[in-house]
Structure 1
Amino acid sequence: MAKPQQTNAVPENRPSRPDQGHQHDQNLSGTFVSVMILGAFLLVTWVGVFLLFLSRG
Structure 2
Amino acid sequence: MAKAELKTKQKTVIEDKSSLKGTLASVFFVGAFIIVTWVGVYYLFLERF
Q: TM-score, normalised by structure 2?
A: 0.77
Structure 2 gaps, min length 5: none
SS at match of 1:53: helix
Q: 1:51 aligns to what?
A: 43
For 1:11-22, what aligned pairs fall within 5 Å after superposition?
Answer: 11-12=7-8, 15-19=10-14
> Quick check: 1:39 aligned with 2:31?
yes
Aligned residue pair count: 49
Using CA pairs under 8 Å that are at least 6 residues apart, name the structure with larger relative contact order, 1 or 2. Answer: 1
**Inter-partner Cα distance in structure 1 for 2:37 and 2:27:** 15
Q: Percent identity?
A: 37
Deviation at 1:47, TM superposition (A): 0.5
Q: TM-score, normalised by structure 1?
A: 0.68
